[in-house]
Homo-oligomer: A and B are copies of this chain.
Amino acid sequence: MKFSPKIFNSHPKQDGDFFLGIKRILGFKPKNIEVYKKAFLHRSMNKRDQEGNPMNYERLEFLGDAMLGTIISRHLYSSVPEGDEGYLTKMRSKIVSRKHLNELGKDLGLLNYVESRIPKSHFGENIHGNVFEALVGAIYLDRGYTFCEKFIQSRVIEPYVDIEQLEGKVISYKSLVIEWCQKQKKSFHYDVYEDTGNDVLKHFAVKLTIGEKILAKARATSKKKAEEKASKRAYFALQHKIESH
């Protein structure tokens, strides 16, 4: 029997939105919703647990920061077998940079869930990255290492980690593609439209037409990212042609 009244007990009505919101962000069901609530609790709320210990997202942020570093290390270890220790360390710090984490937290709209006495407009940029790290810590406590790894794979590594671009070998695939089109005297056109569908975040889709042919499509959380993603795909599709020039 699939139906169980327990489901309703553990997520009373007022928690329903939070539960659904978190589920969409995670891509899987939270088990213990309380730990996620803590991940969004700002110290200004002055909450304390039953033992009287201060309760806010900062301890989870400590845990999530470590988890994130480890999972990114593991990814780099296998995806760049030729990189030495120094290279791996440098790449990891680029991926988990404050700027990058803030972008991630912002794309996931985490600020919407933050509970605080301070108006949200008063927070600096770092709140996005800090809450993102706390969320990673919460996932680890709730579902363990493997779920945490999957979350980081789908929400960080796949959409954001491009080794070539992080190495600075490629600044922008879009500019490479445009340059090629101009040299080849081929027309090109980026057709961008909103396409959020059932996603947690606003999404944009783009079609890149070169000459008469739709060469690549892509979706991402900003117009710029979608164009860059489509350009990257087009670049690899055209690579042998580009490189022979």
Q: Which A residues lie at the B interface, using CB under 8 A? A: 49, 51, 53-54, 58-59, 61-63, 66-67, 69-70, 73-74, 77, 81-85, 88-89, 137, 140-141, 145-146
Contacts and interface: CB of A to CB of B under 8 A. Distances in A.
Given A63-B77, A77-B63, A145-B145, A84 B58 contact: yes
Contacts of A67: 70, 73
Most chain B CB inside 10 Å of its own CB: which residue of A66, A67, A83: A66
Contacts of A74: 63, 66, 140
Given A63-B73, A69-B70, A77-B137, 10 more contacts: A51-B82, A54-B84, A58-B85, A59-B84, A59-B85, A62-B73, A62-B89, A67-B70, A69-B69, A145-B145
B89 A77 contact: no
Contacts of A70: 66-67, 69-70
Oligomer copy total: 2
Contact of A81 (B53, B63, B84): B53
Nearest to A51: B81
Contacts of A49: 81
